[in-house]
Amino acid sequence: MKNRISTFSLMSQLFFALILSSCHKDYSPEIVVLKKGNLQVNMVHQVDGKALIFDSLTYTTSLGQHYMVNDLQYFLSDISLHELDGSWLEITDSAGIHYVDAETASSCQWLISQQIPAGTYDSIGFVFGLDKEANRSNRFPDPPERDMFWPDILGGGYHYMKMNMKWKKVGMPETMPFMFHIGIGQIYSGNTANPDSIIGFIQNYFSVKLPAVLRIDNNKSSSVEIAMNVDRWFDGQNAFDFSLYPMGIMQNQLGMYRACRNGMQAFSVQNAIPN
Amino acid sequence: MSMKKSWILYFIILTVFIGSCKKSGENTIPWTTIPYLITIPPHFPQKLNIPSDNPMTVEGVTLGRYLFYDGRLSGRTDPDSLMSCANCHVQANSFVCGINNPKYTNGHPFGITGIPTPHFMLPMINLIWTDHGYLWNGSISDENPAVQSRKLEDLVWMGIVAPHEMHGDTGRTKALIQSIKGYPELYKNAFGSDFVTIKNTGKAIAQFVRSLISANSKFDRFLQGEVQLTASERTGFVLFMTEQGGDCFHCHGGDGNPLFTTNLFYNNGKDSLFDDLRDRYHFTMSSSDIGAYKAPTLRNLVFTAPYMHDGRFKTLDEVIDFYSSGLVWSPSISPLMHHIATHGIQLLPQEKADLKAFLLTLTDSSFVANPAFARPSRMPDEN
């Protein structure tokens, strides 16, 4: 039995070899070398279309609340490039995860080391934050990513975003800190945010797909500039009222939900520059 | 190959090797060192802050330990004028001088000539992971305009000359150490030359300081699933880790950052007026750093009183009372101090006790008793 099978397979291999060699005789196929280029993603941060200025109480929300931004750090992940025909390419460089600190220029410029097939792409997609699978506790032992950790009792993994701010409205004598922090949300059985009454968690990450005419040329490097329009986090469909969340929003799913609904509109492609 | 045969082979190779050395006119066996291996505790950072020109070696750490404990580092031999790092950095107190220090009242050290140090002490542990500069204001870092004041190594010559520390001069220290029997040989083992230099002195002491790793507390064993926390410790842990609780973790780490510090700088709301010329602001000149200091590690707190850069709190209870209801607003208060609106986290007495119980799970008693970090039983010239 054993012998018979191996004889059979030997025969069939010979047969294939014959076919292949006969092919070679008839055609000399052109060897197609895939044309590939590089892409650099540049993040810029803006308020009302102008570069964000840190530590200065110069901004006002649609609700008339004044704010300043002190720190802005976040994760982008699952970056993908989409073609007109609906196919897409996923970036797997650094597991597709990129950490941005808006005050650290090097982190705002991500040169993707992965080679990208040349062609024209019509949109760029990413996940704001980390998706459920990527958002594993202790995956980043080193700073700065480490300092984004989200306590295990509150769902674990990492802050998708830390925007540390101060705000003020009419009648308030001083600016007050506000931690615009987003990550995994919790559902509490009671009406207080007591971690012992957590009955479930909510993945608050969201996908963004931005139209962009993006050309990757062979052996060349292209860049795309993505803007986070910081004001959109507060002035979207759910005008964000800082005074509603005296304790922050990490343990307030409604607050994070409203923030994320706005955040979905916070990104835009500024420029896509081939070469 | 049998044992016997391999020994013969080894012998032949050795003879050939030595012979070849002779041929090239060198009589000595080449200088080699044994790497000092760092075992990274679970979840601790993988990136170690070891300068490329000062790799950790067993010989370097050995020499560094002698020097760290040798009062003659001050360059003097008179018993009153001896001073070493260990005068202030005491192992039993997790390397601060301690509130019960017989010499330094209230835990505030002073130099040989009586000048007090500008700040109180920082626990000198886990510095192999310090990544944003040493000292309360982080000024010993690559951002320092003075190239000779950037590394852990540099704190050694600085300590020798500082008026509030050894108040000496490096030439005298060098000459004295060179003259002490045993040291030249230790320098030779560590650095290949028996010539004592301040550079190599700094390197050796820095190696010893980098070896001071503390990661064996009850909380570490809890994270490894080896022990349970008591109900009170667990409640304290939840307070520590939640925004609506105590919200300590944003600055001091926690289960995702077992160093229990971010090594970053914050104004944690102690004052409204600022006159310290050595705060973070006076290094960065950024107004958001006024009154900001490094958030110290919360490991081994039981040994490290008094607390804060100016030692203003004598007990952990005082610290917890401060975070509970003593916060003061200022324009540069950290945006992470969101409980400022209510002057603090407003803990009930039981919650204060729970938070304290949790903080005490960060105690590593084996570290303060580890013989490898203790004063050597004999100095090199006593061997």
Report the pLDDT value the prediction gives residue A101, as an integer from 0 to 100. Answer: 98
Q: What is the DSSP string of B46-85?
A: S-----TTS--BHHHHHHHHHHHH-GGGGS--SGGG---H
pLDDT for residue B31 is more than 80? yes
ipTM, two decimals, is 0.89
Q: What percentage of chain A reaches a pLDDT higher than 90? A: 79
Question: What is each CA distance from B277 to A140, B280, B290, in whole angstroms?
Answer: 36, 9, 10
pLDDT for residue A32 is more than 50? yes
On whether residue A260 sits in a domain, the answer given is: yes
On whether residue A2 sits in a domain, the answer given is: no
| Structure tokens belonging to residue B327 | 């916060």
Report the pLDDT value the prediction gives residue B200, as an integer from 0 to 100. Answer: 98
Report the pLDDT value the prediction gives residue B11, as an integer from 0 to 100. Answer: 40
Report the pLDDT value the prediction gives residue B268, as an integer from 0 to 100. Answer: 98
- Give me chain B's average pLDDT, please: 93
- A42-56, A221-235, B27-41, B81-95: lowest mean pLDDT where? B27-41
Report the pLDDT value the prediction gives residue A272, as an integer from 0 to 100. Answer: 67
Q: Does B252 touch chain A (CB under 8 A)?
A: no
Angle value at C-alpha B77, between B72 and B81, nearest 5 degrees: 85
Q: In terms of residues, how long is chain A?
A: 275
Report the pLDDT value the prediction gives residue A190, as an integer from 0 to 100. Answer: 84
pLDDT for residue B294 is more than 90? yes
State the count of interchain CB pairs (< 8 A) between A and B: 91
Q: Kindly state the average pLDDT of the residues A263-270.
A: 95
On whether residue A114 sits in a domain, the answer given is: yes
On whether residue A90 sits in a domain, the answer given is: yes
- Number of domains within chain A: 1
Report the pLDDT value the prediction gives residue A44, as an integer from 0 to 100. Answer: 97
Phi and psi at A88, nearest 5°, equal: -145, 165
Tell me which chain A residues have a C-beta less than 8 angstroms from the C-beta of B252. none
pLDDT for residue B22 is more than 60? no
Q: Kindly state the average pLDDT of the residues B29-34.
A: 91
Q: Which domains does chain B have, with CATH numbers?
A: 58-213 (1.10.760.10), 218-364 (1.10.760.10)
* Cβ-proximal residues to B158 (8 Å cutoff; 6+ apart), any chain: B149, B165
pLDDT for residue B17 is more than 60? no
Q: Kindly state the average pLDDT of the residues B110-131.
A: 97
Q: Kindly state the average pLDDT of the residues B271-300.
A: 97
B interface test, pick of A71, A147, A165, A172 with most B CB neighbours within 10 Å: A147
pLDDT for residue B23 is more than 50? no
Question: What is each CA distance from B181 to A119, B188, B194, in whole angstroms?
Answer: 73, 13, 11
Phi and psi at B130, nearest 5°, equal: -70, 125
Q: Which tens digit of pLDDT belongs to each residue from A38-93?
A: 999 999 999 999 999 999 999 999 999 999 999 999 999 999 999 988 899 999 98
Q: Cα distance from B52 to chain A (closest Cα, Å)? A: 19
Q: Which tens digit of pLDDT belongs to each residue from B170-211?
A: 999 999 999 999 999 999 999 999 999 999 999 999 999 999
Q: Which residue has the higher pLDDT, B17 or A50?
A: A50
Q: Taking CA atoms, what residue in B is nearest to A175?
A: B331
Q: Where are the alpha helices (DSSP H) in A130-252?
A: 232-235
Q: Taking CA atoms, what residue in B is nearest to A152?
A: B255
In which domain, by residue range, is A160 found? 36-274
Q: What percentage of chain B reaches a pLDDT higher than 90? A: 92
- A8-12, B287-291, B371-375: lowest mean pLDDT where? A8-12
pLDDT for residue A21 is more than 90? no
Q: Which tens digit of pLDDT belongs to each residue from A141-191?
A: 999 999 999 999 999 999 999 999 999 999 999 999 999 999 999 999 987
pLDDT for residue B168 is more than 60? yes
Q: What is the DSSP string of B167-218?
A: ---HHHHHHHHHHSTTHHHHHHHHHS--S--HHHHHHHHHHHHHT-----SH
On whether residue A125 sits in a domain, the answer given is: yes
Report the pLDDT value the prediction gives residue B2, as an integer from 0 to 100. Answer: 43
pTM for this model (two decimals): 0.91
Q: What percentage of chain B reaches a pLDDT higher than 70? A: 93
Question: What SS3 class is residue B129?
Answer: helix
Other CB atoms within a 10 A radius of the CB of residue A19 amount to 10
On whether residue A173 sits in a domain, the answer given is: yes
Tell me which chain A residues have a C-beta less than 8 angstroms from the C-beta of B44. 141
Report the pLDDT value the prediction gives residue B70, as an integer from 0 to 100. Answer: 98
Report the pLDDT value the prediction gives residue B15, as an integer from 0 to 100. Answer: 39
Q: Does B82 touch chain A (CB under 8 A)?
A: no
Q: Kindly state the average pLDDT of the residues A111-123.
A: 93
Report the pLDDT value the prediction gives residue A4, as an integer from 0 to 100. Answer: 46
On whether residue A206 sits in a domain, the answer given is: yes
Chain A residues with CB within 8 Å of chain B CB: 55, 70-71, 137-138, 141-143, 146-147, 149-154, 158, 164-166, 174-179, 181, 193, 195-196, 246-248, 250-251
Q: Kindly state the average pLDDT of the residues B111-119.
A: 96
Read off the pLDDT band of A13 (50, 70, 90): low
| CA proximity to B151, closest of B168, B174, B134 | B134
Phi and psi at B26, nearest 5°, equal: -105, 130
The answer to whether the bond into A144 is cis (omega within 30° of 0) is: yes
> What is d(CA B207, CA B53) in angstroms, rounded to the nearest whole number?
11
Q: Cα distance from A208 to chain B (closest Cα, Å)? A: 28
Read off the pLDDT band of A9 (50, 70, 90): low
- List for chain B the helix, strand, coil content (%; round to 5): 40, 5, 55
On whether residue A198 sits in a domain, the answer given is: yes
Q: Taking CA atoms, what residue in A is nearest to B344?
A: A247
The answer to whether the bond into A151 is cis (omega within 30° of 0) is: no
Report the pLDDT value the prediction gives residue B27, as an integer from 0 to 100. Answer: 59
pLDDT for residue A11 is more than 60? no
